[in-house]
Structure 1
Amino acid sequence: MLKGSETVNEEFDHGTTAVGSRAGGRPAVRVIPGQRPAGGGGDTRRIADLEREVRELRRANEKLKMYFAKALDLDLPLTGAGRESRGHGEGADGDADAASVGRTGVRPRETPQAPAAGVEFRVLGPMEATVGGRAVDLGAPKQRAALALLVSQMGRPVSVDVMLEELWDGQPPPSGMTSLHAYVANLRRVLEPDRAPRTPATVLRTRGRGYLLDGRFAQVDARRFGERATAGWQALDRGDLRRALSAFEEGLALWRGQAYAEVADTAQVAPERVRLEELRLSATEGRCAALIAVGAHEVAVSELAAFTRAHPLREYGCELLGLALYRAGRQADALAVLRTHHQRMAQELGIDPSPSLQHLEGEILRQAPELG
């Protein structure tokens, strides 16, 4: 019955309505809206009943669209009865919606507006988010993981298929799509609590068959860490030691644990996690280099000793530890560190230490004045 009603609906949209042939082989009657057929009163009543049925079906269809749009937080255009009922329930918002849809029934592309409250994501540890400076509840583990996936690709759309594969380890259940839509709807309400009903989302947007976190309207601590690390190395290169030390410390202070902890092992996030971890190790070495340069040798020794135990094959860390020990008046310890590293490289990798390490060992042996 519904299919037949849709056919009638389509005919009305094109300006005419076809009424089936009557018993006895009489031809079908085509009625032009606004005119009455030349036939008898029976045809007129039948057509009036049909028009009434179409109007009722249209109203029911619009109500269903409104219900599912509200339940799933979809951005569907409303027409006809849907606009009327919505206008009565939501005032000016319904009028604005009707104006934006226009006569075509298609909503024009809208320019995103900045959300009223700033949104910040924290992924350098367990997933967290703040809206307007206040922490928000990101919900169940799967919902948090979905958000982490999107944050890892900030500014780039992530397809629904990829999200389903990653969230359910390649085996999404039949209800996976429904669950994913619910996660997105919940996150939109959390991230933009003041967004008016039926207005487009600005932070978590739909893009094709996927979703996108708009980097223009959200901040992420991973990006800020990268900026601070870069600023630290630039300051160190130009000899601005205090600024370098401050930049490195500000960046490293953002870390609270493993990056993207909820989805660290997924194929989509693993490359970004590895990049951030390498940048973290490099920033730690940069901070220690700045500490040595400003004369905080003992502080650098304590931090580099722990660092090289955790990462014994990082040659720059070993070089810094040797230099810090020498400047702290511990020449024998400095040579022992360098020679132990030399042996480890030969035994585990079958290679010699880098030229810079070999040069540092020679300079320590002869107590070169330039070592300070």
Structure 2
Amino acid sequence: MANEEIKVDSPAIGAELAGGRSALTEGGRPPAGNADARRIAELEREVWELRRTNEFLKEYFAKDLDADPLPPPAPPRVVGTIGERSHPEVVAAAPAGPPGAARWTPGQSPQIQDTPQPMAVFRALGPIEAVVGGRLVDPGAPKQRALLALLVSKVGQPVAVDMIVEELWTGNPPPSAITSLQAYVANLRRVLEPDRAPRTPATVLRTYGRGYLLDSRVVEVDVHRFSERATAGWQALDWGEPQQAVREFEAGLALWRGQAYAEVADTTYVRPDVARLEELRLSVVEGRCAALLAVGAHEMAVAELEAFTRAHPLREYGCELLSLALYRAGRQADALGVLRTNQKRLAEELGIDPRPALQHLENEILNHAPALDWRPHPRVIAKSA
């Protein structure tokens, strides 16, 4: 953009210029009696900068972000003010996007940044496994594996040495416990970072105060992926996308190979998280069966729910789903039998009545309520049309 000239109408400044006198004293400062002229000049410079920024922003938003951004216009030569003055470049910020989105700055084309690959992937939904560089590696001897499982259960959080010793040796550590622990840590570091140069700080398994931690910024854990899949499945079911829900739930359940954190599942430190994950797994099994019912796979749901309720007879939601699946499969007597068996078991073992939802379902089954009949969800119909 070509330089512009801004005419100044200030009488005070014009008078001094007409008289051939300089508006600057030695050192570049205006004389003390020229305060009005100095203030006018400062205001005009501010107006110019605002105009320049406005023009630049208009040009930026008029362009597609895939094009190279235009440079800001060159500052104009100001005529009739206190000489020429250089101005700092104005940087227009790109509109804020969602977290993780590529940010645009002047002077570079926008680029989508790839998510860095984790340095190690841990599988803790079963016996502990570690994958480094795409290959399964051996975590080592039982105590060393238990140490890794313990650290994975608290990934991103420091675990104190005293706590590790207490858990690994079940409250009765030998005099050599600290020395053994240090050897286990050194061995794991060699396994998890085989290319790390000698005497350089570890990146994956770090020392943190008087403890150790696995850095969550450079590792991935299947426990977190399972939680994400579970959340996505329930959201899809709530949004009327049962087929997507089935896929999400199945992908999450496929990560399980046994008891979570198997090597340290009975330790005081990890036991609450093991119980939490097991409860989440059972709810995902129920969610998958609910999604199967929503897509009309009643017979498949019956087969899975019968096995599930035998293993977990006090889970009322599972009994509710099984009863509904049996009714939709044309087995009304069996559906009522499930509800009444559940009612009897709850009374005998826990001394409580079934949830109101189960009592309501029994009444609807007895009355052949049309609301129990399966109907494809409108979104499913639209997708299959």
Q: Same fold by TM (over 0.5)?
A: yes
Contact preservation (8 Å) 2:119, 2:204: no
Task: Give structure 1 stretches of 5+ with no counterpart.
Answer: 1-113
Contact preservation (8 Å) 1:119, 1:130: yes
Aligned equivalent of 1:11? none
Take 1:271 and 1:336, find their aligned partners in 2: how far apart are those partners? 35
For the residue of structure 1 that corresponds to 2:213, the secondary structure is strand
For the residue of structure 1 that corresponds to 2:198, the secondary structure is coil
Q: Which 4+ residue blocks in structure 1 deviate beyond 4 angstroms?
A: 114-117
Deviations 1:36-77 (A, max 9, x none): xxxxxxxxxxxxxxxxxxxxxxxxxxxxxxxxxxxxxxxxxx
Aligned equivalent of 1:96? none
Matching of residue 190 in structure 1 with residue 191 in structure 2? yes
Aligned equivalent of 2:243? 242
Deviations 1:259-296 (A, max 9, x none): 11100000110011001000000000000000011011
Aligned equivalent of 2:281? 280
- The structure number with the bigger radius of gyration is 2
For the residue of structure 2 that corresponds to 1:135, the secondary structure is strand
Take 1:225 and 1:252, find their aligned partners in 2: how far apart are those partners? 7
Contact preservation (8 Å) 2:144, 2:184: yes
Aligned equivalent of 2:301? 300
Matching of residue 147 in structure 1 with residue 142 in structure 2? no
Contact preservation (8 Å) 1:118, 1:133: no
- Matched residue count: 259
Aligned equivalent of 1:362? 363
Matching of residue 207 in structure 1 with residue 208 in structure 2? yes
Give the CA deviation at 1:186. Answer: 0.4
Give the CA deviation at 1:116. Answer: 8.1
Matching of residue 217 in structure 1 with residue 218 in structure 2? yes
Kindly provide the amino acid, as one letter, of the partner of residue 305 in structure 2: L
Aligned equivalent of 2:292? 291
Give the CA deviation at 1:118. Answer: 2.8
For the residue of structure 1 that corresponds to 2:199, the secondary structure is coil
Deviations 1:330-350 (A, max 9, x none): 000000000000010111111
Take 1:170 and 1:230, find their aligned partners in 2: how far apart are those partners? 37
Contact preservation (8 Å) 1:116, 1:194: no
Give the CA deviation at 1:115. Answer: 9.4
Take 1:171 and 1:127, find their aligned partners in 2: how far apart are those partners? 24
Contact preservation (8 Å) 2:118, 2:218: no
Take 1:351 and 1:326, find their aligned partners in 2: how far apart are those partners? 25
The two structures have a TM-score, normalised by structure 2, of 0.66
Aligned equivalent of 1:38? none
Take 1:275 and 1:218, find their aligned partners in 2: how far apart are those partners? 22
Aligned equivalent of 1:164? 165
Contact preservation (8 Å) 2:131, 2:137: yes
For the residue of structure 1 that corresponds to 2:336, the secondary structure is helix
Cα gap change, 1:116 to 1:340, in 2 (>3 Å): closer
Take 1:268 and 1:290, find their aligned partners in 2: how far apart are those partners? 35
Contact preservation (8 Å) 2:118, 2:220: no
Contact preservation (8 Å) 2:151, 2:214: yes
Aligned equivalent of 1:228? 229
For the residue of structure 2 that corresponds to 1:322, the secondary structure is helix
Take 2:260 and 2:161, find their aligned partners in 1: how far apart are those partners? 23
Aligned equivalent of 1:320? 321
Task: Give structure 2 stretches of 5+ with no counterpart.
Answer: 1-114, 374-385
Contact preservation (8 Å) 1:115, 1:192: no
Aligned equivalent of 1:341? 342
Deviations 1:307-361 (A, max 9, x none): 0011110000000000000000000000000000001011111111000000000
Aligned equivalent of 2:135? 134
Take 2:344 and 2:128, find their aligned partners in 1: how far apart are those partners? 41
Q: Percent identity?
A: 74
